[in-house]
Amino acid sequence: MHHEGDEMKDFIELDGSSLTIRNFIEIARNGKPVKLSKECLQKVEKSREAVEKLIRDNKVVYGINTGFGDLAKVGIQNDSLEQLQENLILSHCAGVGDPISDEESRGMMALRINTLAKGYSGIRVNTLMTLVEMLNRGIIPQIPSKGSLGASGDLIPLAHMANALCGRGECRYRGELATVKYAFENEKMNPAVLAAKEGLALINGTQFMCSLGAISCFDAANLLRNAQIVGAMALEALMATGKFLSERVHLLRPHPGQMNVAENLRKLVVDSEIIESHADCDTIQDAYTLRCIPQILGASSDVLAHVEEKITIEMNSTTDNPIVFPDSGDVVSQGNFHGQPIAMALDYLGMGTAELGDWCERLTFRMLSSELSGLPPFLVKDGGLNCGLMLGQYTGAALVAENRILCHPASVDSISTSAGQEDHVSMGATAALKLRKIIENTGYIIAIGMLCAAQALDFREGIRYGRGTRAAYVVIRERISTLEKDRYIKDDIDVLYSLVHSGEIANRVVDVVGELK
């Protein structure tokens, strides 16, 4: 099943314990292939041997030779165990809604491979390696976005993934929508035929919420960098003082995020004539959107650090049920599939990300309001005839309002299922889907803020900007010209959103000032 030249590829090794968010993004977003070590495959083989022994000994074990959920009390004969797994997958393919993105689906596959590689799930090596081959050959299951309750894990989306592993359903293949059957035939691959325990090994777990959550962590970190760049540009455009950035101020309240943001802002405005000119000015204090940037963005930075820790733990955990302990032969029914730790973390990150947008929209309002900014109304010459960037703030306000609604936590809700057997669920998948939308909205709000900040700096022409703000300004002006008169503004917003989302602006700034913490 190997393509020629596969050995020359740059693989990421999944061992069940060392996956990072950055490596995850390389697999999910950038399509890097994966491999498993011999040690992992030996562990997987050993856990499978334990399952086979239980079947031979006629031990009654949940999900191996019983029904599922509230049907656990129903015993299943050995000659029906394969049919049991088949029925499990088909019956659980109940998802609805638009499919998740290819990167989210690839992420789910990678995370499921990583947890199975730990060797506590009882899957066969051949079945696991078929999933690895699907990922590496770009057979990406079309997985509906809605249906998971986040306990017993993400059952429904993972069932759609497992259904594809069995050669059924639709996938994205070579850039086109295709049947999984066609993709397998074209790759000369055989679909999996699930044996006892393998269905549960594939669908109990938190890989839907965790895939979306890991991607959101990466994108939120990028938004945080861009927000700080907008803040630095606004400090200069609005002629703020830099006194509040002094390290001695923040040492008196040493929250890590606050300390880091203050340090980053000092880096961004190094060599700024505007900031230097205010070193001893008589301005008493600036507005909160300027003076409190380290405190506001720093709090979001601390939220992100917390959630990154939770996601990294989850990516490298065993989250299915029951767990097979191969050394002792014990099989334990437990609740590691329950998504509560991730659900609460993703709700928290939703709040932390939404606050970046809330702050940036208020900063945009300040730059556009001449009585607050000292700049021409709506940042355009010949105002009246021209509306300038007035309406950008309207869009930002609409997105802030939507984010506030989306910040209602999903994790405080629960609806009992499976005849009361599964009577508390996490709603972590809902938290993940909400967070994804909050991040998209906030990306647009920051893009609009950056568009206004660049335009505002045009009115400070002739005064040297800081190193970081100058680098950001140059990238923007390479793609978007100064607004001299009204034009179709959506194009400017979309271009800036792509520059923010891709990390192009932040990366160019980092090249000049060094890493932003």
Q: Whose CA is closest to 207, among 138, 159, 164, 163?
A: 159
Catalytic residue flag (residue 62):
yes
Whole-angstrom distance, CA of residue 490 vs CA of residue 502: 18
Whole-angstrom distance, CA of residue 392 vs CA of residue 364: 9
Residue in the block written with tokens 């057979």: 139
In order, the DSSP letters of 184-234 are: HHHTT-PPP---TTHHHHHHSB-HHHHHHHHHHHHHHHHHHHHHHHHHHHH
Whole-angstrom distance, CA of residue 23 vs CA of residue 37: 16
| Contact (CB, 8 A) for 313 and 213 | no
DSSP state for residue 477 in the 8-state scheme: H
| Contact (CB, 8 A) for 326 and 119 | yes
Among residues 62, 120, 444, 497, the one annotated as catalytic is 62
Helix (H) or strand (E) run with residue 379 in it:
none
CA 271 to chain centre: 35
Q: Whose CA is closest to 94, among 155, 151, 180, 164?
A: 155
Three-state SS for 14? strand
Three-state SS for 141? strand
Work out the burial of residue 405: count CB atoms within 10 Å of its CB; fewer than 13 is exposed, 13-18 middle, 19 or more buried. exposed
| Contact (CB, 8 A) for 456 and 375 | yes
Cα dihedral 422, 427, 429, 430 sign: positive
Three-state SS for 381? coil
468-505 core/surface letters (b: 16 or more CB in 10 A; e: else): bbbbbbebbeeebeebeeeeebeebbeebbebbbebeb
Helix (H) or strand (E) run with residue 181 in it:
helix 180-186
Work out the burial of residue 92: count CB atoms within 10 Å of its CB; fewer than 13 is exposed, 13-18 middle, 19 or more buried. buried
Helix (H) or strand (E) run with residue 134 in it:
helix 125-136
Cα dihedral 173, 177, 179, 185 sign: negative
Three-state SS for 173? strand
Active site residues: 62
